[in-house]
Amino acid sequence: MPEPRPQTPTKTQREPWIIRTYAGFGDATLANARFLRNLKEGQRGLSIAFDLPTQNGYDPDAAVAAGEVGKAGVSICHWRDMEQLLQGIPLDKINTSMTINATAPFVLALYLVVAEKHGIPWTGLRGTTQNDLMKEFVARGTSIFNPEVSFRLSTELIRFAVERVPNWNPINCCGYHYMESGAGPAEEIGYTFGNALMILDALRPRLPAVAFENTVRRISFFINSGIELVPEICKVRAYFKLWQELCRSEFGIEGVTFRAGCQVRSLSLTEQQPEVNIIRIAYEALPVVISANSRVNALQLPGFREAIALPDEAEQLLGLRTQQVLMHETGIGNYGDIFAGSHVIEKLTGEIAADARAIAMRLRSVGYTGAIALVSAELTKLLAERQRRLETGQSIQVGVNAFKGDIDLTPVYTPNTTVDYPRLEQDRVQSLCQWRAMRDETSVARAREHLHQAVADSADTMEPTLELARGGGTVGEWATTIERATQGRYIPPVLDRSIAVAQFAVPKLRRRIRIALGKAGLDGHINAVKLLAHACMQAGMEVILAGFKQTPQQLVEAALQEDADVLAISSLAGAHLAIAREVVALLNHHNATSTRVVIGGIIPEQDRTPLLELGVSEIFTPKDSDLSQIVQRIAAICGEQDEHPVAQ
């Protein structure tokens, strides 16, 4: 019989940061069990991952949610789901971070309703709703409404929370995803602070002076930490230094503390030699905790097989242990500002802060909608340049473009097969039907009408949102109500063809292959699609952008309408088998068997053979990082040979 795990030792002093893991999968019961286990193992705060239907404002019975319920996070619809998710967790004692953006007003309302039902005053709640739509439009893709509506809903949540939930962080201005999309230190800070300034500019005339100052002090941030140790140490110091300066110079508020959570950089984690990612993660955790005067408030670490799948229970435990070694064994919590007086650190910190300030002011000057276009274009260029440097060997990535070969210390990844996701999805749909049958439909209808009217009249939306949550409304009903009161769902453009990016070493093709590129399902990460689109255009292909967050039917229709030779589909949310099955069936139905299908994304090795048997011609995963090779393989399935000259 195994020895019982030792309990966390009694603390004699306050821990220097909150240890979190990003967790959530399946339904509320499964995720709750994982939360309780992680808390027992020493986690000090929750960081909740919601599934893509919840993030995108769909209930489990929505057609576009098929195949994605509970897969990339936990499925939550109504207050009873939220109550089950948090069962046994004292909301007045735990700090809860929720990675939720477009649906943040409703999900926060569910959290508040559960607190009400358990007699916990809102003033006792501590936590964060991410509630940052800027980076969703340019990098992550879970936006629902157009920029103006999104900005309005975000600022209304902030104003409400500052007044009614005073210890809650109502927005997490998020620099993390900018770095994931190619940004350097100055760009990450500049885009993040530019967004924060625009939000505060909008709130300032709507709040009394005291309330506005409280709002400034409640703004929190979520940052990235990469592998480049010295620049990243300086970046964190620049974040702390510049935010205090901006609050003083722009709003006349002294002594504002920069408060942030952090996850280390996922973009640096490779499918090749995944064992090396354990080292990368530990190194990347250092810059944000090593110095007391520039230390984040909370830290979460990804799984070392991040390029293959979301972390399982063992990987989350390893992430916890990595933080616990940093916190309890290295002794870094015993020292103050260990870099004070360093000429190298101070010089680079000042340079990053100055560049970041200029970027932030440039965003502020063009306004929210203009900033979205500006940041999107700049990130595309930065990401392409990063890719070019990797492909030419100017940047070294161990296991990718240097020191290649398997290490074989860890077994081949096999996904968690204990969850029957098709059955879970059926159960969620059935549970939702039962919920709707037992609730008071009159109350729900009345709350939806109040919400619709508030949106249409430009009135405050948080009170009717709370009314809908209390009445048993669902996340899908909340989103649909706002859609009907505005301009419907907003789909931002995938790519600006006019942007000049770095030239890749791709082959020049003899004939003009027509390729339709799109993302299936609800995942909105489009960095890989952007890079592939530019590489294909540079090779001489005609690129048709089929959109993102598309159903298989929409993708097939786009390919057929444009007479595409190839339909290239990106899927990161685990629904690739269901997507491929439907796409191939639709092509067969239309007698379009000559249209080749290729799929790229987070695809486990054991799914490769089933995909090929379905009729998929090529499969690409994160280890296929050489754009030249990808283009050649796509050309080959169309009859093009790969001995064509390569552009230098």
Token pair 């939360």: residue: 35
The domain total for the chain is: 2
Average pLDDT, 10 consecutive residues per value, the chain (648 residues): 44 76 93 94 91 96 90 95 97 95 98 98 96 94 95 97 96 96 97 98 96 96 97 98 98 96 94 95 97 94 86 89 96 93 97 98 97 95 94 94 92 74 96 97 98 96 98 98 94 81 91 93 86 94 90 94 96 84 96 95 90 96 92 92 43
Is 479 among the domain residues?
no
CATH number for 351? 3.20.20.240
For residue 549, the number of C-alpha atoms closer than 13 Å in the C-beta half-sphere is: 25
Is 480 among the domain residues?
no
Distance CA 567, CA 517 (A): 6
Of 425, 435, 434, 471, whose CA–CA distance to 451 is shortest? 471
Beta-bridge partners for 303: none
Is 646 among the domain residues?
no
Distance CA 457, CA 398 (A): 56
Is 502 among the domain residues?
no
Of 173, 471, 438, 61, whose CA–CA distance to 463 is shortest? 471
Is 495 among the domain residues?
no
- 56 DSSP assignment: T
Is 350 among the domain residues?
yes
Cβ neighbors of 106 (< 8 A, separation 6 or more) are: 465, 468, 469, 475, 478, 479
pLDDT given for residue 13 in this prediction: 55
Is the domain of 53 the same as that of 193?
yes
Choose one of 359, 392, 425: the last residue of a domain.
392
Is 415 among the domain residues?
no
Choose one of 392, 427, 457: the last residue of a domain.
392
Q: What is the CB neighbour count within 10 angstroms for residue 339? A: 17
Distance CA 107, CA 478 (A): 10
Sheet holding 168-169, edge to edge: 168-169, 126-129, 95-99, 45-49, 18-23, 298-300, 260-264, 220-225, 172-174
pTM for the model = 0.93
CATH number for 579? 3.40.50.280
Cβ neighbors of 588 (< 8 A, separation 6 or more) are: none
Distance CA 152, CA 148 (A): 6
- 310 DSSP assignment: S
Q: Alpha-carbon Rg of the chain, whole angstroms?
A: 24
Cβ neighbors of 641 (< 8 A, separation 6 or more) are: 635
pLDDT given for residue 417 in this prediction: 64
Is 490 among the domain residues?
no
Q: What is the CB neighbour count within 10 angstroms for residue 90? A: 10
Choose one of 392, 407, 427: the last residue of a domain.
392
Of 500, 494, 450, whose CA–CA distance to 471 is shortest? 450
pLDDT given for residue 516 in this prediction: 96
Amino acid at 240: F
Chain center to CA of 208: 34
Of 531, 526, 622, whose CA–CA distance to 138 is shortest? 526
pLDDT given for residue 415 in this prediction: 65
Token pair, residue 231, equals 């620049």
Domain that holds residue 566: 514-637
Of 646, 413, 575, 449, whose CA–CA distance to 69 is shortest? 575
